[in-house]
Amino acid sequence: MTDDDPPYLYEPYVGTRLRAPTQTLVLLPHTKTELAEPVYGHDAVTAADADLTNRHEGEPQGQRIVVSGRVLDADGRPVRDSLVEIWQCNAAGRYRHDVDQHDAPLDPNFDGAGRALTDSEGRYRFVTIKPGAYPWRNHDNAWRPAHIHFSLFGRAFTQRLVTQMYFPDDPLFPYDPIFNSIRDERARQRLISQFDLATTIPEQALGFRFDIVLRSTPFEE
Amino acid sequence: MSLGITPSQTVGPYLHIGLPESREAAPGGVRVSGLVLDGAGEPVPDALVEAWDASGAFARSDTRDGGRYELVVAKPARFGEQAPHLDVGVFARGLLKRVVTRLYFPDEAEANAADPVLAAVDPGRRSTLVAVPGADGSLRFDIRLQGDGETVFFQL
């Protein structure tokens, strides 16, 4: 955690009010446990897990996209061979989840989950569809900007990160308390992917680039 | 060179889509379960609890069962001055970033008394970090995010 992270308590995001710890955090030295490299069964991840558009007979509705980038640490070193998990709603703004009661259609050809391992340069790549915006009940007329949830393990538990990737120029940014819980403008901007012609596939899919920076560990690569 | 880190965001209420529970229980492991509770003492059914030890062994459970999680973990060895412990991370809707705590074992009173991390914690709050033994050899470890009996959380 650093100052670029949001606080636990951010009043405009109502969900934080009864869940944010109130006591001062105790500093935890980085010992063997905190610096252990997670063991989660790499061999179970296959290349097909990174394509969210090929799970069913038909193709999902919506704009096909490629989301790719590099995972680095704060010293600029690639975070290699580490698990990246993503999940998202469909193009209509509906999650395949019991709790989601938004009156928008489910897509029989879209589940919304993927995972990948970073390569030796820290690169990852997913093929999916652009998620829709959706309403939530945080405040009157509240809508979440389109986003993809990201979970990263890094190479040590100090690097563990769960975040959300957004899309450029979303008109909902000024109204979203989750996005705006990050006080620092430059830090907020790091959650916005960039359109990338170089990874756009002609006649096929738009490319978006999202590089992720995890905190550094004392390990030497 | 120092790059700005990518900030954290909440895991949200739909975390189960992308973050499946661990499938393989540690052989001969200890069953650890408990409730994740909010500041009103209500169970938190949309949390994810992760535990790991110094060998990197990792397990995670969601709390869809009425705020309750359950993990099967191998009890780690003592190392250096530290008593056997697990690091525990919790993500949830309403948590903009992970909370991190530690689980210590109730049958290690002597080692716990000498543990430097426990020693740095207010004595009145240390008990929030020690699991409670169950009749069947399992352990109970509730996590109170806020309020009375708030679990001690760490800054990593």
- Greater model confidence, B93 or B25: B93
**Is A147 annotated as catalytic?**
yes
Which one has a higher pLDDT value, A40 or B151?
A: B151
Supply the mean pLDDT for chain A.
95
What pLDDT was estimated at residue B66? 98
Cβ contacts of A98 within 8 Å, gap of 6 or more: none
Of B17, B54, B155, the CB nearest to A96: B17
CB–CB of B131/B114 below 8 Å?
Answer: no
pLDDT at A57 over 90: yes
In degrees to the nearest 10, what's the CA dihedral of B119, B124, B125, B127? 80
Q: How many domains does chain B have?
A: 1
Predicted structure pTM score: 0.97
Q: Is residue B6 part of a domain?
A: no
**Mean pLDDT within B89-105:** 98
Residues of A in contact with B92 (CB under 8 A): 19
Residue with tokens 């990246």: A84
State the CATH number of the domain containing residue B72: 2.60.130.10
Q: What is the pLDDT of residue A137?
A: 96
Residue B9 lies in a domain: no
DSSP, res A4: T
Sequence-separated (6 or more) residues with CB below 8 Å from residue A43: none
Our answer to whether residue A64 is catalytic in this structure is: no
Percent of chain A at pLDDT above 70?
96
A8 is catalytic: no
SS (H, E, C) chain B: CCCCCCCCCCCCCCHHHCCCCCCCCCCCCEEEEEEEECCCCCECCCEEEEEECCCCEEEEEECCECCEEEEEECCCCCECCECCEEEEEEEECCCCCCEEEEEECCCCHHHHHCCHHHHCCCHHHHHHHECEECCCCCEECCEECCCCCCCCCEEC
Is residue B28 within 8 angstroms of chain A, CB to CB?
no
Residue B3 in contact with partner chain A when CB distance is under 8 A: yes
* A144 noted as active-site residue: yes
Indicate whether B112 belongs to any domain: yes
B147: chain A residues, CB-CB within 8 Å: 22
B140 assigned to some structural domain: yes
Q: Which residues of B touch A96 (CB under 8 A)?
A: 17
Does residue A220 register a pLDDT over 70? no
- Give the domain extent around B32: 15-144
Strand partners of residue A117: A83
Could you tell me if B14 and A199 are in contact, meaning their C-beta atoms sit under 8 angstroms apart?
no
Q: In B, which residues are within 8 Å of A162 by CB distance? A: 8-11, 91, 98
For residue A116, the distance in angstroms to the closest alpha carbon of chain B comes to 12
Domain boundaries along the sequence of chain A: 14-214
- The residue with tokens 């993500």 is B91
Q: Is residue B88 part of a domain?
A: yes
Which of B:47-66 have CB within 8 Å of A? 50, 52-58
Task: Name the pairing type of β-strands A147-152 and A161-166.
Answer: antiparallel
Rounded to an integer, the average pLDDT of A155-174 is: 97
Res A43: pLDDT: 61
pLDDT for A22 beyond 80: yes
pLDDT one-digit tens code per residue, A62-83: 999 999 999 999 999 999 999 9
Dump pLDDT digits (tens) for B124-151: 999 999 999 988 999 999 999 999 999 9
> DSSP string spanning A102-158?
-SS---TT---EEEEE--TTSEEEEEEEPPPPEEESSSTTEEEPPEEEEEE-TTSGG
Its ipTM equals 0.96
Establish if B95 touches chain A: CB-CB under 8 angstroms. Answer: yes
Q: Which residues of A touch B18 (CB under 8 A)?
A: 85-87, 112-115, 149, 151
Domain-embedded: residue B7: no
C-alpha–C-alpha distance, residues B64 and B60, integer Å: 13
Return the CATH number of A14-214, one of 2.160.10.10, 3.40.1160.10, 3.30.1180.20, 2.60.130.10: 2.60.130.10
Q: Which residues contact A57 (CB under 8 A, 6 or more apart)?
A: A109
Inter-residue contact A150 to A212 (CB < 8 Å): yes
- Establish if B2 belongs to a structural domain: no
What is the DSSP track for A15-65? GGTTTS--SPPEEPP--TTTTPPPB--GGG--GGGGBTTSSSSSPPSS-EE
Residue B150 domain flag: no
Chain centre to alpha carbon of residue A133: 15
Q: What is the pLDDT of residues B59-92, one digit of tens each?
A: 999 999 999 999 999 999 998 999 999 999 999 9
Q: Would the CB atoms of B7 and A85 count as touching at under 8 Å? A: no
pLDDT given at position A221 = 38
Residue A164's closest chain B neighbor by CA?
A: B9
Q: Is the minimum CB–CB distance between B135 and chain A shorter than 8 Å? A: no
